[in-house]
Structure formats: C-alpha cells, structure tokens
A and B are shown apart, each in its own frame.
Chain A
Amino acid sequence: MRKDVWLVIAGMALVTYLTRAPLLLALARRPLPPRLRLWLRLIPLAVLPALALPLILVDHGRLVASPAHPPLWGAVVVFALAAWRVNLFVTVAVAVATVAVLRALG
C-alpha cells in the first residue's frame, strides 16, 4: 500500500464525484421551467462534438491541415453512415476499420 498514490486516487475520486452528483440530485427532483429544459436539450449537441472534434482536427497540438490524417476520414465515414441512418454499431465498426486501414497504409 503506497499511501500517497491512494491519497491521489481518493482525491481524484472525490472531485470527480462532485462533478457528477450535485446537479443530478438538485435537478432530478423538481419540474424544470421550459426554457431551462430547452437549454438542457441543446447541451448534448454542444458537448459531444466538443469532445470529438479535437480528436479529429488536432494532431500533436496543431490543427490538422492536410487530408493525410486518418481520424479525419473516420469522421467522414461516420457522418456519411449516420446521415444514412445506419445502425450505430456498424457505423462505429466501419469507421474504426477505416482509420485502422489508413494508419496501416500510411
């Protein structure tokens, strides 16, 4: 048992729990005003691209400038299949395969 490592883990666990629990507990138990509900509905549209885009458009801390960047093509595949309403599992699998093949070739 290394105390310092476990202390860090406990601290990480605590602050992470504090990012998850308070709003879930506070907002689950009362009806929300329509404006707030609309705002909440728009959050996923903002959060998910914000998580995904840096993985696609940033390479080693720089904005990707050339098309020779496999994740870019993975994203193109995802967009195309999603627009076509293909099953989520198939979409993910094809996109991962695309990136893997491009990486292997490049």
Chain B
Amino acid sequence: MDRAQPFDRGLEGPVIVAGARLAAARAGFVASLALVPSVFVYGTVFGGLAVQAGLRPLEVWGMSLLVFAGASQFVAVPMLAAGASPLAIVLTTYVINMRHYLMAATLAPAFCGFPRRWLALVAHWINDESFAIAVARRNPPSSWPSSRCSSGGGRTGWWRWRAGRSRSPSRSPCRATGTSSSPA
C-alpha cells in the first residue's frame, strides 16, 4: 500500500486515483493468496463433516454462503446433528461471532466515505482471515486510496468520484478539512 501514498498528495485526477485503487486491490489480492491453501483445506473439512452429519450439499453450500463464519459453522453442525434446539444453535452462533464487533470497529475507519449500501455489502466479508490480512499490512488498516477521510489528505472522495453530481457530497459527515477541489 506504500506505493499508493504519493497519489494522496494533491495529484488527484480520476485516472491516477483509479490507478492507485487498482494497485491497492492487486496488493490485497496478492496478500490473500497466502491463505488460499489453508482456507481450501478448512472448507473441504467442513464440507465433509457437514455431509457426514447429515446435511445435504445444498444446505452446506447455503450455510457457508449465508453465514460465512467458519468457527461457528463447525460448532453448529454437530449441534444440528444432535437435534439441539434452533434457538440454542442461533444463540451459540451469535456468541461465537461476537468477535466481529471488534473487527468491524477496527476496520471501519478504513471505509470512511463509502456509501452505506456498499458498507452493508462489505460487512458480510468481515472474517478472521480478511481481518488478519488487513491489519497485517498496516495497523490501523489503510484506507481506500484518496478517500476523503484518509489521513494523507486526498480530497477526491470515493463517494463523490463515483456518484458524480447526482448526489450531494455533503451527505457524508467525514469530509477532509482542506479546500475542496472538484473532481473532473
């Protein structure tokens, strides 16, 4: 992400911003590759375990897609198989996943300036692995290049850059303090 830093200093044409974002996205992708082997094994083990416990493949697939939190799934499957009450399973899941509160709080500043519905979507991908990758690169996690809330002082907000003139940028409470230069 260090390579993206110079872009935050005044050079803020959309092309350069897009380039910095591409570089950031690529860096994140490459950093995640280290986790692929272990996640692959973890997922395979879960699939096998769940089918053995009597879940149908579609249910295993649905759970992984909708819940997307490995530790709680590993606990829920034996509970399902043992015929535990739905309420107990859901409550256990909630307690196991309460750690996401801390992770979301830590990651939130890096998403400053994102539209709400994007945040609502991104939230689903907060998990141990993505959190570890994010804070391993930099703590606190670096923000999306040139977002108006980044400490580097980029002023071309993701929000404004993406939405053009159709939305008022003043709707976002996190604005850079500097003078506002209008994006092309």
Contacts and interface: CB of A to CB of B under 8 A. Distances in A.
Interface residues of B, number: 60
Contacts, number: 152
Interface of A: 2, 4-32, 37, 40-41, 43-44, 46-48, 50-51, 88-89, 92-93, 96
12 contacts: A12-B76, A15-B91, A16-B100, A17-B123, A19-B99, A21-B119, A23-B104, A24-B105, A25-B119, A27-B108, A28-B113, A48-B135
Nearest to A11: B90
Chain A, interface SS category: helix
Given A47-B99, A47-B103, 10 more contacts: A2-B56, A10-B66, A15-B91, A20-B103, A21-B124, A40-B109, A43-B106, A44-B106, A88-B31, A93-B37
Contact of B86 (A8, A24, A37): A8
B97 interface: yes
A32 B90 contact: no
